[in-house]
């Protein structure tokens, strides 16, 4: 049975996180240490110290890693509340790419890998990045992976290649690297970022700005990696990356839903207060309809998220469904932000408002974790390959 009847404890979880973010994190939104390339390391540490004190750091993880072992549905509540400020997920240590990387380590790491990397990540002592996309190579089509890990004997490999759009590469201690091993195929390696040959080429100027460390082009000039650093299994990199992708897509949706709720609240407040042509702005039908359309998109997004979270909680992989949800939510939330900007007039595009910053974030979200078109293409392929009639019960 599909049941979204949350217990009082689950409802409290939402309000606990939301109160924490409103009271302790929102005031930092004017802090100059929130730069165009995300919150600085110093700001990140300060925010995480507050979350630690409040008992909210990495709450999604199992108790062995200091969390509360939240279900996917409970994560939907907590992550939406955290996303009320673009700095909230960083404070709670549930921001990408660390959150997705922690999930992958939890699912695929051996005990030693978890002890070395997952524990310090969960405590916020280190950061990580995920190195997959390449200039001219892997991107929408991961089959174009060009970075090679060549075996050099004694369980060692030499990696050559170039990556870009690597979020948080600067300052990260761990890189989860996707490279092709000859005769085996794509493989994930847990690569210390201070390994000789890892070179940060340049920080990329992008329109978004909520990820600590920004985004980097990274050269891998003969980096030595070891067999014991393989995450999962040799040649199984794509399969293990999929383990990360479905839940990671959904947690992005959860966090940005919280941001879109915040923007809608700001647009509503502006539409109530501002008077134009002799009446409150919101009473003009064109503005009221925009706010109503936002409500439709916000609720639809939340229901997409809850449904896929519910599937994941049942142990389903939900690849098709998380793909559907990613497109629907990324596009709906972008529409919400676009309308909020319009309702707020000049103020809507002024970066002094969090709405303008969120608008830029939501535009970027239509690209990462699979551009909308790539998801649509995969959805269409699955539909065309399916023979059974359409029914409410077919996957
Ligand atoms: C803010 C941000 C952060 C990122 N962080 C990371 C990171 O930490 N690590 C990492 O590895 N990567 C990261 N990326 C990269 C991201 O995963 C890629 O940008 C994304 O997969 C698209 O790949 P691409 O840029 O190579 O675009 P391309 O592969 O060149 O595709 C360009 C466009 O072509 C269209 N397209 C592609 N295939 C099809 C198709 N079959 N049918 C129809 N249209 C199609 C889509 O509209 C797509 O946007 C990040 C990107 C951004 C914007």
CATH number at residue 144: 2.40.110.10
Asked if 381 and 246 sit in the same domain, the reply is yes
Range of the domain at 73: 8-95
Backbone angles phi, psi at 376, to 5 degrees: -60, -40
- 117 in any annotated domain: no
- 114 in any annotated domain: no
Which residue, 179, 200, 234, sits at the end of a domain?
234
Asked if 215 and 305 sit in the same domain, the reply is no
To the nearest whole number, what is the mean pLDDT of the chain? 96
Over residues 17-37, the mean pLDDT reads 97
pLDDT at 247 over 90: no
- Please report, for residues 161, 174, 178, 209, the alpha-carbon distance to residue 149 in angstroms, rounded to integers and kept in the order given: 9, 17, 9, 32
Asked if 248 and 230 sit in the same domain, the reply is no
- 79 in any annotated domain: yes
pLDDT of residue 395: 64
- Pocket test of ligand 1: the residue of 367, 370, 375, 378 to mutate, having most ligand atoms within 8 Å of its CB, is 367
For residues 325 and 308, is the Cβ–Cβ distance under 8 A? yes
Q: Which atom of ligand 1 is nearest to the CA of 138?
A: 26
Asked if 71 and 198 sit in the same domain, the reply is no
Asked if 183 and 53 sit in the same domain, the reply is no
| Residues ≥6 apart with Cβ < 8 Å to 113 | 105, 190, 231
Over residues 217-246, the mean pLDDT reads 94
- Pocket test of ligand 1: the residue of 99, 101, 134, 368 to mutate, having most ligand atoms within 8 Å of its CB, is 368
Label residues 381-395 b or e (16+ Cβ within 10 Å = b).
Answer: eeeeeeeeeeeeeee
Domain count, the chain: 3
What band does 393 get if pLDDT is binned at 50, 70 and 90? confident
E strand map for the chain: 34-35, 38-39, 128-131, 148-153, 156-167, 174-181, 185-192, 198-204, 215-226, 230-231, 275-276, 279-280
- 392 in any annotated domain: no
Element spanning 87, H or E: none
Which residue, 217, 234, 251, sits at the end of a domain?
234
Rounded to the nearest angstrom, the distance between the alpha carbon of 169 and the centre of ligand 1 is 17
Residue 206, ligand 1, Cβ within 6 A: yes
Residue 101, ligand 1, Cβ within 6 A: no
Asked if 76 and 156 sit in the same domain, the reply is no
Rounded to the nearest angstrom, the distance between the alpha carbon of 123 and the centre of ligand 1 is 30
- pTM score: 0.97
- 390 in any annotated domain: no
* CA torsion, ordered 97, 99, 100, 104, to nearest 10 deg: 130
- 171 in any annotated domain: yes
Looking up residue 50, the CATH number of its domain turns out to be 1.10.540.10
- 352 in any annotated domain: yes
Quote the percentage of the chain above a pLDDT of 70. 99
Q: Which atom of ligand 1 is nearest to the CA of 132?
A: 11
Rounded to the nearest angstrom, the distance between the alpha carbon of 353 and the centre of ligand 1 is 28
Bridge partners, 210 (sequence order):
none
More confident of the two residues 3 and 11? 11
pLDDT of residue 394: 61
Token couple for 310: 């519910």
pLDDT at 389 over 70: yes
Asked if 161 and 44 sit in the same domain, the reply is no
Residue with tokens 């761990």: 174
- 13 in any annotated domain: yes
**Strand, coil or helix: 265:** helix
Looking up residue 310, the CATH number of its domain turns out to be 1.20.140.10
Over residues 259-265, the mean pLDDT reads 98
pLDDT of residue 2: 74
Rounded to the nearest angstrom, the distance between the alpha carbon of 371 and the centre of ligand 1 is 6
- Pocket test of ligand 1: the residue of 133, 255, 362 to mutate, having most ligand atoms within 8 Å of its CB, is 133
Token couple for 114: 């978890």
Asked if 360 and 277 sit in the same domain, the reply is yes
Rounded to the nearest angstrom, the distance between the alpha carbon of 139 and the centre of ligand 1 is 5
Task: Choose among 117, 125, 224, 248: nearest CA to 176.
Answer: 117
Residue 295, ligand 1, Cβ within 6 A: no
Asked if 281 and 357 sit in the same domain, the reply is yes
Asked if 217 and 249 sit in the same domain, the reply is no
Asked if 289 and 212 sit in the same domain, the reply is no
Asked if 243 and 270 sit in the same domain, the reply is yes
């Amino acid at each position: 049975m599909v049941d979204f009847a949350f217990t009082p404890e689950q409802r409290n979880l939402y309000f606990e996180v939301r109160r924490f973010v409103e009271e302790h994190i929102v005031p930092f939104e004017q802090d100059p240490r929130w730069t165009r390339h995300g919150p600085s390391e110093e700001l990140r540490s300060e925010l995480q110290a507050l979350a630690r004190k409040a008992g909210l750091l990495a709450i999604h993880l199992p108790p062995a890693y200091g969390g509360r072992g939240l279900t996917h549905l409970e994560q939907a509540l907590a992550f939406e509340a955290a996303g009320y400020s673009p700095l909230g997920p960083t404070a709670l240590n549930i921001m990408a790419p660390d959150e997705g990387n922690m999930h992958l380590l939890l699912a695929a790491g051996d005990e030693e890998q978890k002890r070395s990397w997952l524990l310090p990540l969960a405590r916020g002592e280190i950061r990580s990045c995920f190195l997959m996309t390449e200039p001219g190579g892997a991107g929408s089509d991961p089959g174009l992976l060009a970075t090679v890990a060549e075996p050099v004997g004694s369980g060692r490999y030499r990696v050559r290649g170039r990556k870009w759009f690597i979020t948080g590469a600067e300052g990260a201690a761990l890189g989860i690297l996707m490279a092709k091993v000859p005769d085996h195929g794509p493989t994930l390696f847990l690569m210390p970022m201070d390994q000789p040959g890892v070179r940060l080429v340049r920080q990329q100027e992008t329109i978004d700005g909520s990820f600590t460390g920004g985004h980097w082009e990274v050269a891998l000039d003969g980096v030595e990696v070891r067999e014991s650093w393989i995450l999962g299994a040799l040649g199984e990199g794509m399969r293990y990356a999929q383990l990360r992708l479905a839940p990671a897509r959904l947690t992005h949706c959860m966090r940005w839903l919280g941001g879109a709720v915040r923007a809608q609240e700001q647009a509503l407040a502006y539409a109530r207060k501002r008077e134009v042509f002799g009446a409150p702005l919101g009473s003009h039908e064109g503005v009221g309809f925009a706010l109503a359309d936002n409500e439709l998109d916000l609720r639809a997004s939340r229901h997409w998220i809850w449904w896929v979270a519910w599937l994941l909680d049942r142990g389903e992989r939900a690849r098709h469904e998380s793909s559907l949800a990613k497109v629907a939510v990324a596009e709906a939330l972008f529409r919400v932000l676009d309308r909020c900007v319009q309702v707020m007039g000049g103020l809507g595009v002024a970066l002094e408002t969090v709405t303008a910053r969120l608008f830029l974030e939501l535009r970027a979200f239509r690209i990462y974790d699979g551009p909308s078109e790539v998801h649509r293409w995969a959805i269409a392929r699955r539909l065309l390959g399916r023979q059974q009639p359409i029914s409410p019960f077919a996957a």
